[in-house]
Structure 1
Amino acid sequence: MEIHFWIIGCLFIALALSHIIFPRYFNWKQELSKLSLVNRQIMLVHSFFIALMVLLIGLLCLTSAHELITTTLGKRISLGLGVFWGARLLIQLVGYSPKLWKGRLFETGVHIVFTVFWTYISVVFIKTYLA
């Protein structure tokens, strides 16, 4: 099971680092300029802290896999992470309009990759809690 935590840790760190390109890729300078100052700053601050949390979860998985798998506290943390990422999977499936990805090759691929990613992560964390 520890290998799964290592894989998840590496994937989360990569995901956190990918947030660096979000502003340019999603054209945030122009897109967010339409928002009020408070909404623009909320978007930027929240995105930063999401990336930071994803990075920290990745580091936790890399450095504390054994504890997450074998200790009572670790299993409870794994349950919380499983529920959290399970909710993220649900949002992936029903929270985003299919208009964003259907009929678009790259976007459909990203949708599928993240659906598989959130499923894998949720299953590993929940299975860890139940073991």
Structure 2
Amino acid sequence: MEEIAIKIGGCLSAIVGIGHCFFYRGFGWEEDFEKTRVLTAKVLYTIHLFLIPMFFFFSYASLVHTKELAGSTPLGIAMSTFYAVFWLLRELWQITYFRSSMIKGFEKLHYFLVICLFFLWASYSYPIFSHFL
């Protein structure tokens, strides 16, 4: 069951990576970045751009090195723990930060993200918790 959870997390990580490839156009960043300082726009774009390979790396690691991430090695446990905490914090951020500043038309996206982020957290935390139970 631990390996199935990691593989689900890997598929979801790939979906998140693909989704992030469309942020620039989908959220109209070109127009927004024209209204902000050049340095701010470049920093925000760079941070976003370099998150994409991280999502794809974790997707690859989850789908190819499933057994290790499911708890068969200390490095695998450490990586799964990091990714579980990452997604838990990202979900808490989504719930608290975006809830108060919801933009009309993005409500469905907000709730979809809350559900996806929960499953990403659960996928990577399940193997960790199962070793302690």
Q: Which residue does the alignment assign to 1:21? A: 22
Q: Please say if residues 9 and 62 of structure 2, whose CA atoms lie closer than 8 Å, have aligned partners that are also in contact.
A: yes
Q: Which stretch has the larger CA shift, 11-20 or 87-96?
A: 11-20
Q: Please say if residues 9 and 124 of structure 2, whose CA atoms lie closer than 8 Å, have aligned partners that are also in contact.
A: no
Do structure 1's residue 118 and structure 2's residue 106 form an aligned pair?
Answer: no
Deviations 1:97-127 (A, max 9, x none): 43425xx4x5222212211111122123222
Computed over aligned residues only, the root mean square deviation of the Cα atoms, in angstroms, reads: 1.6
SS for the counterpart of 2:93 is helix
Q: % of aligned pairs identical? A: 22
CA distance in 1, matches of 2:26, 2:122: 30
Q: Please say if residues 91 and 114 of structure 2, whose CA atoms lie closer than 8 Å, have aligned partners that are also in contact.
A: yes
Higher relative contact order (CA 8 A, sep 6+): 2
Q: For the structure 1 residues 118 and 3, does the alpha-carbon distance in structure 2 shift closer, same or farther, using more than 3 Å as the test?
A: same
TM-score by length of 2: 0.86
Gaps of 5+ in 2: none
Q: Please say if residues 8 and 123 of structure 2, whose CA atoms lie closer than 8 Å, have aligned partners that are also in contact.
A: no
Q: Which residue does the alignment assign to 2:59? A: 58
Do structure 1's residue 96 and structure 2's residue 98 form an aligned pair?
Answer: yes
Structure 1 stretches (4+) deviating beyond 4 angstroms? none
Q: Give how far 1:39 is off.
A: 0.6
Q: What residue identity is the alignment partner of 1:67?
A: E
Gaps of 5+ in 1: none
Q: Give how far 1:47 is off.
A: 0.8
Q: Give the aligned length.
A: 128
